[in-house]
Structure 1
Amino acid sequence: PIIPKWNWSCLPVIAGAIRKFAPDVVHIQYQTGAFAMHPAIDFAPRLFPLFPSVPSPTRFVTTFHDLRVPYLFPKAGRVRDWVTRELARSSDAVIATNDEDYLKLETWNLKLLALIPIGSNVPTTKPPNYQRTTWRAQLGIAPDETLLCYFGFLNQSKGGETLIRALALIPRAKLLMLGGQVGASDPTNFAYLAKVKTLIAELGLTERVLWTDYVPSEIVTANFFAADICAMPYLEGASYRHGTLMAALAHGCAIITTQVPSQKSKVKSELPILQDGENCLLVPPDDPRALAGAIQRAMASPALRAKISAGARELAQHFTWDKIAQQHLDLYETLLR
């Protein structure tokens, strides 16, 4: 890394790198928490043309990974919104990764807007000599038990409490929590994790909830394939902005997740959709009983699990990195014509 700290001093350093490499396109991958919550990067496309060291015309592209009102500095209000819009409007092209953000960006009077999704960052390569039955036994899963899994950090928006309350309604099932427990960008995540663990203890589920913490990607893959069902009850509904969902799709998991308001008719460049009963099961957000009911429905029907698993794997073919790379190249070529 060439940036020791994200603040105003980073701009001359980035300008120097642009002078050195003379790229045709500078692409900013934007999410507020990734830049230490400092606004310097938001003004980069506007300010860099003023640097004599930055060759002209250098094109600036920004991918917005999440436009939801952030948990980070929530009191910033209008200032935060203005700064974010400044980055979008001064960029030569803007990319949304999901329909929800595309719809919002569409109202911002941008120079060029594209919809390009993210893919899975977890390869589907199993450990050598992987045996599903043996792996499940090592996890302590009895032959007559169902193994649920959840992937990703816990925070208020991910529906962790909903999942735990649903688990309490389901006999003969255990829950495997895959990956690190919390992200470092939001201090409130630790308080939320403590709240979830307290709920687990209060409901007598301590022995039925297993935690992996950080593990290599091939271990994540092994656990995905060991699970019968992947439950991710996002409170705001499932979205392709979630890398955790993209990983579950890529692994062909039998996914149970949450509904989102239908917006497909409003989006010009459509992504394929999550379809209840075809590539997942969909339930209302923040509804433990509905979630438990869907899990039990899937538990009772190997054929249903196989169907939505195959549907997830087919859906994931729309989100391969080769296709995503080509979409980016097409956008860059459009800019440089």
Structure 2
Amino acid sequence: MKIVLLSAEYPPTPGGVGDYTCNLGTALCQCGHEVTVLTSVADGAAAQQPLRVVRLPLRRWDWRCWHVIRHALDDLQPDVLHIQYQTGAYEMHPAINFFPRRLRLERRRPYLVVTAHDLLPPYLFPKAGPLRDWVTRRLMLDVDAVVATNEADETLLRRWGAGQGHHTLMVIPIGANIAVAPPPAWDRHKWRARLGITPEMTLIAHFGLISRTKGVDTLIEALAQLPETFRLIVVGGEATAPHDRAYADSVWRQIAALHLNERVIITGYCDEATVSAHLLAADLAALPFTDGASFRRGSLLATLAHGVPTITTRGSASLVDRTHALLVPPCDPAALAGAIILLAADPALRQRLSAGGADLAALFSWEEIAHRHEELYYGLRDATS
């Protein structure tokens, strides 16, 4: 099939949705499909990939994007247009939400699919209220099929009317956005030494773009309660949205106020091999999501896939406490600090979480994710043939 994946972000622009799109497109190519990614212009060059990437002449995803996307679709003539939707990636603008409704007016069009990476409403105008949720629902219901990445989103989508009549709703979880592939000749002891980590130190890893829901402020407060030998590496950079940059600035001020500058390593954006190396070098990972752990979080799946014993917060993800991860309440620095102390002092528990997390992450392979998408696409075609 000829498949177009539309994503507002794509490497080298950092972001989980862009990484997801790259992994999905690559897996679909390996299944024999002709895949093209439509995305916006970006600074820098992405690594060589097996799929075609078309950079649309867009800096903003406002109403002008309709004409630009439509022109690209005329050239590509895909069987499927699959929108990767995350509200913030499209700058909170509603233009993309109404694009499928516009396409449905045309006699010849591709099958329309959207993956709901989140269900946050876009910004319209002050006090827009319920209209913002309606705009999100419109996108989800104006396509032929919607993909939920987790059961909680599936429940909300069904309440909105998804999956009824000729509309299709399928749950397809995301996979780890970073492969277990450090640089060639990587050596854990040398890598830790380069980071200034001595043998008596415990290295805690946090991975992902910094935004308020990641709970980095909770992790910094927890670190302040831990002995001097505990160090933190924050792998990843600031998110691009203004409110997330403001939150990141507040985190840097918090680190300085608590005199933790010597105990926190902030890497900024890293390539995939470097991220993998940092995760493998850590003794444990802490991902204290404020909204609870969910399988929509590629960073969670990445730490589990790397076999890093992980502490995270209770949420919608079906994690078994002390088997897949060590679970703590959200926004509770004392509980998080206690869990870090417990895990650091218990080699058997670390080994159990390492094995259990890796086994769980293996269920979310990109090969299986691609096969589920094939099932969805062929189902749409067969329903209209």
TM-score, length-scaled by structure 1: 0.90
Partner SS state of residue 240, structure 1? coil
Matching residue within 265, 269, 272 for 1:217: 272
Partner of 2:175: 119
Letter in 2 for 1:140: G
> Does 2:287 align with 1:232?
yes
- State how far apart, in whole Å, the 2-side matches of 1:71 and 1:28 are: 19
- State how far apart, in whole Å, the 1-side matches of 2:233 and 2:143 are: 42
Partner of 2:135: 83
> Does 2:56 align with 1:2?
yes
Structure 1 residue 83: deviation in Å?
0.9
Partner of 1:278: 323
Matching residue within 333, 347, 351 for 1:288: 333
- State how far apart, in whole Å, the 2-side matches of 1:206 and 1:173 are: 13
Higher deviation after alignment, 34-43 or 208-217: 34-43
Distance change >3 Å, CA 324–CA 61, structure 1 → 2? same
TM-score, length-scaled by structure 2: 0.79
Distance change >3 Å, CA 303–CA 103, structure 1 → 2? same
- State how far apart, in whole Å, the 2-side matches of 1:135 and 1:71 are: 43
Partner of 1:165: 221
Partner SS state of residue 106, structure 1? helix
Partner SS state of residue 327, structure 2? strand
How many percent of aligned residue pairs carry the same amino acid? 48
Higher deviation after alignment, 120-129 or 87-96: 120-129
> Does 2:226 align with 1:174?
no
Structure 1 residue 149: deviation in Å?
0.7
Counterparts of residues 171-320 of structure 1 (less than 5 Å): 171=227, 172-180=229-237, 182-185=238-241, 187-260=242-315, 273-320=318-365
CA contact (8 A) 2:124 2:132 kept: no
Matching residue within 202, 223, 226 for 1:146: 202
Aligned-residue RMSD, C-alpha: 1.9
Show CA shifts across 1:37-93 (max 9, x none).
3222111221113346xx24x311111101145799785432221111111111111
Distance change >3 Å, CA 309–CA 129, structure 1 → 2? same
CA contact (8 A) 1:249 1:316 kept: yes
CA contact (8 A) 1:33 1:72 kept: no
- State how far apart, in whole Å, the 1-side matches of 2:209 and 2:224 are: 21
What is the number of residues matched between the two proteins? 322
Higher deviation after alignment, 9-18 or 163-172: 9-18
Partner of 1:62: 114
CA contact (8 A) 2:111 2:144 kept: yes
| Structure 2 segments unaligned to the other structure (5+ residues) | 1-54
Show CA shifts across 1:201-222 (max 9, x none).
2222111111111122111111
- State how far apart, in whole Å, the 2-side matches of 1:196 and 1:72 are: 29
Distance change >3 Å, CA 74–CA 280, structure 1 → 2? farther
| Structure 1 segments unaligned to the other structure (5+ residues) | 262-271
Partner SS state of residue 210, structure 1? strand
Structure 1 residue 139: deviation in Å?
0.7
CA contact (8 A) 1:167 1:173 kept: yes
Greater relative CO (CA pairs within 8 A, separation 6+): 1
Structure 1 residue 235: deviation in Å?
0.7
Distance change >3 Å, CA 69–CA 259, structure 1 → 2? farther
